[in-house]
A and B are shown apart, each in its own frame.
Chain A
């Protein structure tokens, strides 16, 4: 029993540290694409945290909306900026006529 509690506490500490670390990194980085990827990773880690907190409804919503849809929105914005900036990273299908 104690073992289960200790393992759970360790896991929660790991998730909490991961959340803070991902947030710190994504707010400090200079590269927009990296920041967006970190944001999606943060959202999925947060979904784990919701499970641990005992809110499975929120975990589902966070994974689908917080990480998925919001990540797609940011990637969409990134792509528009990449087209504008003439970056090499642009998708081939968006090549200019």
Chain B
């Protein structure tokens, strides 16, 4: 197809030192980035042996699981059903997540915040996301592309409305903050792709405040109920439902913002980089073949 004529494929890389890429990386595709030809996969014999070894493992695993689970009396569902009225909600999963096991959910949203911080710090200062600035500035939402703008007009309000509904119904029906947050994040991703939400990165203070709001809401609520019940995150009588609803709302917004961040802040790879073009992608990527000069756009490289 494209072959060596590609201006920045590995076809222009330095000649392979010892011919260690047998078929040549440019036989059917310009780069192993998008098509993995399997040159780096383990030896076939080892792969087959591992596969053969995993067959009895799987059979034993499935039989063992069935035997272990079938012999036990399911008491936990009964316990949950018995104490569900005390949780303030009627959906048992929401009751488990936000009342019985509130710690789980607190730590879950903390993990999300940590992941956002980690992804954000991977590639500071090198983001090239979304449309060129001219496109988003000239056309507004959708940048003059009628299909994208029609989708935006239909999907974003619908997603927003559905997310509110899902958060509200989470107390009684199968729904909840995380599903709602994912829907909101879908709308946010769409807006980011279209160039409407371009400045939304974790560097912005409002983004940080909203993203931390889920954890903060949990911690503040947990401490605020301490004088009344004497235990962290143990809601006082009659207050469980409003507290859970408030927490769910904060969670949904925080989850949405964090997921959009995770999408937007993924590191980018420069399309043209002479040092990278000189690297043989099948060579020794960590040592010898590493580009001699770290790309100048990466000021924090050691």
Q: Do chains A and B touch in the complex (CB under 8 A)?
A: yes
What residues of chain A have their CB less than 8 Å away from a CB belonging to chain B?
Answer: 30-33, 56-57, 59-61, 64-65, 68-69, 72-73, 76-78, 80-88, 93, 96-97
- The one of A60, A77, A86, A88 that contacts B271, using a Cβ cutoff of 8 Å: A86
Do B269 and A86 have beta carbons less than 8 Å apart?
A: no
Chain A proximity of B263: nearest CB distance (Å) = 6
Which A-chain residue is minimally distant from B190 (CB atoms)? A72
Which residues of B are found within 8 Å of A33, using beta-carbon distances?
A: 34
Given known contacts A30-B35, A69-B189, A78-B34, what 14 new A-B pairs fall within 8 Å (CB)? A30-B36, A32-B35, A56-B174, A57-B91, A57-B174, A65-B178, A76-B266, A77-B266, A85-B33, A86-B2, A86-B30, A86-B271, A88-B2, A96-B271
Chain B proximity of A69: nearest CB distance (Å) = 6
Which B-chain residue is minimally distant from A73 (CB atoms)? B263
- The one of A72, A82, A97 that contacts B189, using a Cβ cutoff of 8 Å: A72
- If A85-B31, A87-B34 touch, whether A72 touches B269 (CB-CB below 8 Å) is no
Interface residues of B in 42-68 (CB under 8 A from A): none
| Interface of A (DSSP majority class) | helix
Which residues of A are found within 8 Å of B36, using beta-carbon distances?
A: 30, 32
Do B263 and A76 have beta carbons less than 8 Å apart?
A: yes
The reply to whether the CB of B179 lies closer than 8 angstroms to some CB of chain A is: yes
The reply to whether the CB of B38 lies closer than 8 angstroms to some CB of chain A is: yes
Cα-based distance from A30 to B93 in the complex (angstroms): 40
Chain A proximity of B153: nearest CB distance (Å) = 19
Cα-based distance from A23 to B300 in the complex (angstroms): 39
Which residues of B are found within 8 Å of A78, using beta-carbon distances?
A: 34
Do A80 and B259 have beta carbons less than 8 Å apart?
A: no
- The one of A32, A64, A73, A76 that contacts B179, using a Cβ cutoff of 8 Å: A64
| Interface of B (DSSP majority class) | loop
- The one of B37, B91, B131, B271 that contacts A93, using a Cβ cutoff of 8 Å: B131
Which B-chain residue is minimally distant from A33 (CB atoms)? B34
Which residues of A are found within 8 Å of B38, using beta-carbon distances?
A: 30
What residues of chain B have their CB less than 8 Å away from a CB belonging to chain A?
Answer: 2, 6-9, 30-31, 33-38, 91, 93, 131-132, 135, 166, 174-176, 178-179, 182-183, 185-186, 189, 259, 262-263, 266-272, 276
**12 A-B pairs, CB-CB below 8 angstroms?**
A57-B93, A57-B174, A57-B175, A61-B178, A64-B186, A69-B182, A72-B186, A80-B266, A81-B34, A84-B271, A86-B9, A93-B131
Chain A proximity of B84: nearest CB distance (Å) = 15
Do B270 and A84 have beta carbons less than 8 Å apart?
A: yes
Which residues of B are found within 8 Å of A72, using beta-carbon distances?
A: 186, 189, 263
Do B263 and A93 have beta carbons less than 8 Å apart?
A: no
Which A-chain residue is minimally distant from B91 (CB atoms)? A57
Which residues of B are found within 8 Å of A83, using beta-carbon distances?
A: 268-269, 271
Do B259 and A69 have beta carbons less than 8 Å apart?
A: yes
Do B9 and A93 have beta carbons less than 8 Å apart?
A: no
Do B182 and A87 have beta carbons less than 8 Å apart?
A: no
Per CB-CB distance, the 5 closest pairs between chain A and chain B, nearest first, are: A64-B182, A56-B174, A85-B31, A84-B269, A81-B33
Do A32 and B186 have beta carbons less than 8 Å apart?
A: no
Chain B proximity of A70: nearest CB distance (Å) = 10
Cα-based distance from A72 to B260 in the complex (angstroms): 10
Which A-chain residue is minimally distant from B30 (CB atoms)? A85
Do B263 and A85 have beta carbons less than 8 Å apart?
A: no
Which residues of B are found within 8 Å of A86, using beta-carbon distances?
A: 2, 6-9, 30-31, 271
Which A-chain residue is minimally distant from B262 (CB atoms)? A73
Cα-based distance from A72 to B263 in the complex (angstroms): 8
Do A80 and B30 have beta carbons less than 8 Å apart?
A: no
Do A68 and B34 have beta carbons less than 8 Å apart?
A: no
Do B268 and A80 have beta carbons less than 8 Å apart?
A: yes
Do A60 and B131 have beta carbons less than 8 Å apart?
A: no
